[in-house]
């Protein structure tokens, strides 16, 4: 265990890097609160916007393999600075885009620039902390990063309502520039690792190592769980939550933003709570299973209380009130934020020198699954409505949770 684990010299860089994750969450959830005006402005439909924003997650996922290699080879600081520069430029370009093709290109750039937003602080922690303490800090990192969703709730709803969706991207560009300056000032330069004798592996060989780790028996179950884990959060918070509340439940943009604000507070508090529960109770695998299954149940109950839902019909109501949705959004947020424990399990299964690659392998699945499932939810919504898209995401999450249960029984 390193004596820097509790020092300000370690905590300040870690929190500064977590602010980069905050910006990535702001960027990926901004369309949820501005979907109607954004889609109309760039000449597409809300369903088309689902496919366009899926490009963010796809390129985010594609960046994980070179990211894992770069973090282990070059260190956290130069990687973080490069990525924050890309985010700053891409967010500014998003604010000036004029059509769906331009928006698609900026989503691609934002996905690539944001691909290390979570893994930069996670890798710094993994290389310094013991596996026992990493579980607690992974929750704190995720909770700090989730404040980006807090910004894209009521505050961004007010910005969009008064200044337009483009101003939201200008705000993100300014914040990214500020974080880049803080990284340059506060994050220490990497210390070169001692290399074993013999020639250094090629970049291609190290990239293959990321894939090999992801397919290995020890990480396979976590990769399967991750495929739907973040997709359900982004499906609700980043895309369909706003339209569900405004179009289906009849809330105004500000009212929907307030409810999404409550949801985001649950995502922040739940992530931090998961780290504490891990430290006190252990049983990471069981917590991951219960949290993901509970989140899927919340989504299914949300749709059941909508227009024509089985619960609404049983109660003899056209649909259940917004307070019901608020309770389920809150419960969903608290349940799904056991998610950081997947990173803690990953860290415990590999030596520190493989931490960057192993975390990248799992994170690749988080965002590849988000790209695939979010893009697939668009046609599902076009065919059956927003409720059908939410049911689709809930069932996908249950399926991946089942795979995780089966493939990790020996790790229980």
The burial of 348, by beta-carbon neighbours within 10 Å (0-12 exposed, 13-18 middle, 19 or more buried), is given as middle
pTM exceeds cut of 0.85? no
Predicted local confidence at residue 153, as pLDDT: 64
Tell me, rounded to whole angstroms, the distance of Cα 353 from its chain centroid: 25
pLDDT at 193 over 60: no
Predicted local confidence at residue 201, as pLDDT: 66
Summarised one tens digit per residue, pLDDT across range 310-358 is 999 999 999 999 999 999 999 999 999 888 888 888 888 877 777 777 8
Tokens in use for 13? 């860089």
Predicted local confidence at residue 275, as pLDDT: 73
pLDDT at 197 over 70: no
Residue partners of 296: CB distance under 8 A and separation at least 6: 232, 394, 395, 397, 398, 401
Alpha-carbon dihedral of residues 335, 337, 343, 349, nearest 10 degrees? -20
DSSP states of 147-189: HHHHHTTHHHHHHHHHH-HHHHHHHHHHHHHHHHHHHHHHSPP
Tokens in use for 35? 């979907």
Is-contact 241 50, C-beta < 8 A? no
Tokens in use for 390? 């939410």
pLDDT at 375 over 60: yes
Summarised one tens digit per residue, pLDDT across range 115-154 is 888 889 888 887 777 666 776 777 778 777 777 767 766 6
Quote the CA–CA distance of 21 and 118 in Å, as a whole number: 5
Residue ranges per domain, the chain? 8-188+203-411
pLDDT at 379 over 50: yes
Kindly report the length of the chain: 412
By 3-state DSSP, what share of the chain in percent is helix, strand and coil, each rounded to 5? Answer: 85, 0, 15
pLDDT at 62 over 60: yes
Residue partners of 316: CB distance under 8 A and separation at least 6: none
Topology annotation, domain 8-188+203-411: Growth Hormone; Chain: A; (1.20.1250)
**Across the chain, what does the average pLDDT equal?**
84
Least confident of 195-204, 263-272, 364-373: 195-204
Predicted local confidence at residue 203, as pLDDT: 65
Average pLDDT estimate for 48-53: 78
Predicted local confidence at residue 158, as pLDDT: 83
Tokens in use for 348? 């415990």
Instruction: Compute the half-sphere exposure of residue 11: CA atoms within 13 Å on the CB side of its CA.
Output: 6
Within 4-130, residue ranges assigned H as helices are 8-42, 46-62, 64-74, 76-94, 100-114, 119-128
What percent of the chain lies above the pLDDT cut of 70?
91
Q: Which residue has the tokens 């000036």?
A: 96
Quote the CA–CA distance of 63 and 47 in Å, as a whole number: 25
Residue partners of 179: CB distance under 8 A and separation at least 6: 16, 19, 20, 23, 84
Residue partners of 24: CB distance under 8 A and separation at least 6: 87, 114, 117, 118, 145, 148
Residue partners of 362: CB distance under 8 A and separation at least 6: 214, 219, 222, 223, 226, 342, 343, 346
Measured over the CA atoms of residue 80, residue 86, residue 92 and residue 96, the dihedral's sign is negative
């Amino acid at each position: 265990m390193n004596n820097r684990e509790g020092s300000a010299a370690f905590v300040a860089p870690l929190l500064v890097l977590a602010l980069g994750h905050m910006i990535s969450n702001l960027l990926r959830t901004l369309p949820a609160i501005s979907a109607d005006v954004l889609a109309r402005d760039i000449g597409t439909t809300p369903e088309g916007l689902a496919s366009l924003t899926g490009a963010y997650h796809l390129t985010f996922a594609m960046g994980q393999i070179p990211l894992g290699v770069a973090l282990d080879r070059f260190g956290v600081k130069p990687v973080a600075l490069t990525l924050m520069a890309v985010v700053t430029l891409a967010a500014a370009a998003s604010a000036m885009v004029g059509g769906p093709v331009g928006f698609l290109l900026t989503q691609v750039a934002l996905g690539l620039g944001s691909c290390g937003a979570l893994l930069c602080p996670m890798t710094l922690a993994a290389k310094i902390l013991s596996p026992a303490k990493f579980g607690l800090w992974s929750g704190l990192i995720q909770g700090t990063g989730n404040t980006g969703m807090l910004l894209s709730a009521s505050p961004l709803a007010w910005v969009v309502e008064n200044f337009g969706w483009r101003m939201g991207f200008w705000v993100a560009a300014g914040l990214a520039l500020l974080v880049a300056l803080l990284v340059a000032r506060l994050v220490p330069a990497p210390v070169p690792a001692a290399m074993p004798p013999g020639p250094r592996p090629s970049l291609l060989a190290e990239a293959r190592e990321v894939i090999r780790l992801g397919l290995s028996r020890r990480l396979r179950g976590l990769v399967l769980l991750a495929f739907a884990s973040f997709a359900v959060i982004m499906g609700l918070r980043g895309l369909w939550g706003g339209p569900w509340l405004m179009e289906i439940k009849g809330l105004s943009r500000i009212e929907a933003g307030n409810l999404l604000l409550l949801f985001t507070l649950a995502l922040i508090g739940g992530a931090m709570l998961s780290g504490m529960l891990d430290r006190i109770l252990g049983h990471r695998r069981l917590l991951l299973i219960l949290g993901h299954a509970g989140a899927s149940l919340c989504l299914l109950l949300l749709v059941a209380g909508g227009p024509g839902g089985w619960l609404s019909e049983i109660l003899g109501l056209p649909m259940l009130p917004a307070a019901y949705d608020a309770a389920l959004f809150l419960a969903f947020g608290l349940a799904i934020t056991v998610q950081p424990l997947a990173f803690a399990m990953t860290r415990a299964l590999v030596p520190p020198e493989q931490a960057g690659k192993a975390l990248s392998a799992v994170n690749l699945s988080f965002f590849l699954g988000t790209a695939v499932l979010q893009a697939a939810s668009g046609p599902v919504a076009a065919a059956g409505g927003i409720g059908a898209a939410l049911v689709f995401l809930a069932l996908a999450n249950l399926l991946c949770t089942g795979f995780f249960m089966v493939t990790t029984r020996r790790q229980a």
